[in-house]
């Protein structure tokens, strides 16, 4: 189980790729308890842990807008997700910093003695302080105006707490510019034998 948000009223859903990878079917549950089946994938980026899914929307869906500018350090944020199946859980915090993949990998080695991220070295990350748990992945990190700053992706546990990271909204915007004309069903996306699990499997935010 993961989280996500509506990017376009025609039924485009953004989430983390690791939330649906190797799944042959999926459905989206909305805040009003409505359920829509995922028709397939319109775009994905393994190096950025992002996927844009298509659902058959019978009517235009309420959607979130991507932030036009990157956030400032210390900027307040809120997150939504479904940790442990507790749907639409709200948390608040702030932006700690913009990070590079190499920076985070270095810290992961120091904390865990290893931990290569399965992300492109050019993927833009945001470190934030809002609480994140398994099930939050794919959920939006929002500014106080409701604009999407990023997507919760993973955490680095440390002494009972966790450093939390999101994929920046700029990566979502870039992926949305590469949409396939038609959705590819999930069952056609993956090899018959599941791929190996990611080499870095964080204990929180997944």
pLDDT at residue 161, as a whole number = 78
Instruction: Report if pTM > 0.75.
Output: yes
| Domain architecture of the chain: domains with CATH | 5-63+173-188 (2.40.10.10), 76-169 (2.40.10.10)
| 137-176: pLDDT as tens digits | 999 999 999 999 999 999 988 776 789 999 999 999 999 9
Q: Buried b vs exposed e over 166-196: b needs ≥16 C-beta within 10 Å?
A: bbbbbbbeebbeeeeeebeebeebeeeeeee
pLDDT band at 4 (very low <50, low <70, confident <90, very high): very high
Q: Which residue has the higher pLDDT, 184 or 133?
A: 184
């Amino acid at each position: 189980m993961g989280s996500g948000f509506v990017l376009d009223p025609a039924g485009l859903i953004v989430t983390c790729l690791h939330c649906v990878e190797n799944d042959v079917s999926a459905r989206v549950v909305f805040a009003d308890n409505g359920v829509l089946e995922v028709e397939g994938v319109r775009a994905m980026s393994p190096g950025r842990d992002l996927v844009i899914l298509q659902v058959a929307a019978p009517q235009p869906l309420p959607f979130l807008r991507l932030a036009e500018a990157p956030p400032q350090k210390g900027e307040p944020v809120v997150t939504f997700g479904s940790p442990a199946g507790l749907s639409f859980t709200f948390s608040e915090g702030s932006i700690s910093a913009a990070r590079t993949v190499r920076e985070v990998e270095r810290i992961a080695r120091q904390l865990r003695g290893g931990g290569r991220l399965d992300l492109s070295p050019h993927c833009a990350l945001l470190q934030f302080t809002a609480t994140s748990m398994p099930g939050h992945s794919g959920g939006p990190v929002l500014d106080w105006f409701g604009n999407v700053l990023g997507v919760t992706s993973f955490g680095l546990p440390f002494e009972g707490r966790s450093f939390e990271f999101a994929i920046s909204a700029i990566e979502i915007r870039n992926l949305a510019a590469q949409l396939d004309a038609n959705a590819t069903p999930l069952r056609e996306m993956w090899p018959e034998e599941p791929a190996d699990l990611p080499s870095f499997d964080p204990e929180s935010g997944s």
